[in-house]
Chains A and B, each alone.
Chain A
């Protein structure tokens, strides 16, 4: 086989090794990856714990939002009910939708990734365990505080997509909307942190030999999911930032009377919002594609097609956002393109569904609980998909827009595409982490109640919608013909809830966490690596992967792994560590030294949440203090990373030696920074789009921008920043002691350039003067944010240099600071030129 990195694949034939491993090795692994005690539960970072915390919290949000759903159903059970007053109903449906989408669905699948991926890839952990812990705590604390707003009557009430002008200061003067904007913006940041972790983990932490074609389909799904988050979420982060700025400082981004445009919000929101549906669906589909072959006792039909379908879904789902805006009067040509893409996106989803059906058909399916939920999911999801194709037809959409038909459609898609697969997954994977599996007998009842309940609740909504019942109404008049349908819906909702309640009881009876050995194990006879025997350090040794279902193809693999006959049977450096492999063919490249438990990610998350909450309630002093302390906590946490160990090269098994430190584009840190820069680039690109959009839609409000020629000195300054950042890397590699100087100088130059640019614009246009002014100053604000971060990074780099931590060969921190600073220069350059060129 041709090598990707120069690694000789014949070396894989040395495994499994023959010799006995000393027992002390396993003891040492246990010591290094030991279980937490007492308050250490707050500082754990390994995926076994963080994954479970994450799943538990996300499920809690499912229950809370489910209760809100039931409350709405009680209110709508009959006409003119008085359970929820009108204003409270508005808060309840907004919170139900928001919590389900942002606090349950996305975090739940991300959590499944954190828990399952290291096991499936046979890595000791994901590449940035502290980042996972930070992402979890930020989400948990922020999410609970956000949900708490409901109890003090301050919950947002503008619907889960928060359209202005309803949510502008004029029509929503309270801080309810700010809770949504700051809370969601913040939770998105935690989702992005998780996505970075997953992308780098899937591409760089696979067991040796697990080339892309042997990767479990769930890992593929998580990879596409995480890439989609990186592309889609920046748009909603920008949107929430802009709306918050509009509300706080009166910059009219979305105010049509002052040269803004409310449709800009819709574009930004749905550019995120529709891919979001697939962001939720793909991991769930990945789970289904893992469960169905086991349940059907057959290989997955069409593995290649499914991979292709997932990647294609990732692409095409970005071409459908405006189908949520068909009723806003889009130009016919635009509507046509979006209609075409909306129909096209159902093809890849169809491929997956047919592949599952075919796998069931060729195998000998067992109708156990995971199997039932999987089949139920297919039926429900396909029904939702069919109504989706109906609403992709523009004239049909005009008829049913904002009616209960849409409520029915979205629940069929979300419950079929995500909730049922999730229950299948819980029944399927719980034996992997619990001493006992869940009860099969109860499972069938639970499935029955949930399946029947779901259809009884949501099927009638198609009819009530077609009969004209609008969504988001707190009550209706008798005699409209909707009474019986609504009553049936409510009964169905309670039936569904009864199924969930039984599930909780079953969990209480049977779920006993066994993170450190003793789990029930492979009760369904699956073939993938997560079913290898594991403890807190994951598998005892990391196997060589030779097929897609190694446990089916090599019955002795579990024993050999357990006996330490593969890679890394011991700790090579006495620390937490895992093997970093190449992205295509998974050839071992270097040993990553992993950080252990730490208080700082937890503290940083609390302080970040404190910062955002304080901003919401306008406690600016507290916000400032939280921000400063938060930054210090992050610096403290980082100071313990990027450390060299005395052993420069170690034996990772069978005499194969790899370095313990690597630099440059092959490192996991470099990859993470690249992804972060893509996120920033996307936020910036969406801001540029915003400016261009306002220019094309509100030309009468346009002011002639400053001359392009006047920007030449600024542009040269930004080019100098990029060059200085590159020069630092070069000088460092050549051994110059003062190599850090150019990049620090560049970081100091960036605020000066920004200051000069703001001075020029202030002479032309004020930020609250028009949509153009707001959009231009938004670009400058974004630049200001990254300039600030670059300055902090430069200070940190200087501090490390003074402490003697930037030495020859250990340049990762330096590389990352240079990358970021170069990006600051590039973004500054584009912003300066673009804002002057548009409408010149």
Chain B
């Protein structure tokens, strides 16, 4: 379970953020709410990224795990930021 959480953590946070944004837009549209959701998600991504960077890389498997985790959280971080932008550009 731990390894799966390491591998998928960044993308899971992305999913929470995306579906949260969708729920806000569908049921209670408000820019403020999107900010309230986005800040903790960005923080979670950043923490996960730091955690991933510190992971062991003593064996082939752990090296692989670390690099997928770093990539996943890095991508998640950028994607969360990117998808939080539209409310600031649409009317």
Contacts and interface: CB of A to CB of B under 8 A. Distances in A.
A60 interface: no
B67 A304 contact: yes
A376 interface: no
A337 B7 contact: no
B25 A318 contact: no
Interface in B59-91: 59-61, 64-65, 67-68, 71-72, 75, 79, 82-83, 85-87, 89-91
A308 interface: yes
Interface in A261-309: 304-305, 307-308
A315 B61 contact: no
Contact of B26 (A307, A319, A334, A336): A334
Given A212-B64, A311-B7, A332-B91, A344 B83 contact: yes
Contact of A312 (B11, B19, B25): B11
B61 A333 contact: no
A339 interface: yes
B22 interface: yes
Interface string A1-15: 110000000000000
A348 B76 CA distance: 12
A315 B14 contact: yes
B29 A331 contact: yes
A75 B89 CA distance: 45
B61 A341 contact: no
Interface string B40-52: 0000000000000
A663 interface: no
A316 interface: yes
A341 B11 contact: no
Contact of A316 (B14, B19, B27): B14
B55 interface: no
Contact of A344 (B12, B29, B82, B90): B82
A315 B85 CA distance: 19
A227 to B, nearest CB: 11
Contacts of A696: 26-27
A333 B86 contact: yes
Output the residue of B29, B34, B68, B89 with the most chain A CB within 10 A. Answer: B68
Contacts of B71: 304-305, 308
A786 interface: no
Contacts of B89: 336
Contacts of B11: 311-312, 315
Contacts of A319: 15, 18-19, 22, 83
A339 B61 CA distance: 37
B83 A333 contact: no
A766 B35 CA distance: 41
Contact of A304 (B14, B15, B68): B68
A335 B26 CA distance: 11
B72 A312 contact: yes
Interface in B1-34: 3, 7-8, 11-12, 14-15, 18-19, 21-22, 24-27, 29, 34
A732 B90 CA distance: 60
A340 B86 contact: yes
Contacts of A585: 61
A119 to B, nearest CB: 24
A308 B83 contact: no
Given A304-B67, A312-B72, A318 B15 contact: yes
A213 interface: yes
Contacts of B15: 315, 318-319
Nearest to A547: B60
A211 interface: yes
A360 B25 CA distance: 44
Contact of B72 (A1, A308, A347): A308
Nearest to A585: B61
A333 B27 CA distance: 11
Contact of B79 (A305, A308, A311, A344): A344
A395 B44 CA distance: 34
B22 A337 contact: yes
A213 B64 contact: yes
Interface string A576-608: 000000001100000000000000000000000
Contact of A341 (B18, B34, B72): B18
Contacts of A315: 11-12, 14-15
Contacts of A692: 27
A333 B87 contact: yes
A213 B59 CA distance: 11
Contacts of A311: 7-8, 11, 68, 72
A212 B91 contact: no
Contacts of B18: 318-319, 337, 341
Nearest to A1: B59
Nearest to A344: B79
A255 to B, nearest CB: 21
A331 to B, nearest CB: 6
Output the residue of B18, B60, B91 with the most chain A CB within 10 A. Answer: B18
A333 B79 contact: no
Given A311-B68, A333-B29, A337-B86, 15 more contacts: A212-B61, A212-B65, A213-B60, A304-B64, A308-B72, A311-B7, A311-B11, A311-B72, A316-B14, A319-B15, A319-B18, A333-B24, A337-B83, A340-B83, A341-B79
Interface of A: 1-2, 211-213, 304-305, 307-308, 311-312, 315-316, 318-319, 331-337, 339-341, 344, 347-348, 584-585, 692-693, 696
Interface of B: 3, 7-8, 11-12, 14-15, 18-19, 21-22, 24-27, 29, 34, 59-61, 64-65, 67-68, 71-72, 75, 79, 82-83, 85-87, 89-91
* 3 closest residue pairs by CB, A with B: A336-B86, A213-B64, A332-B90
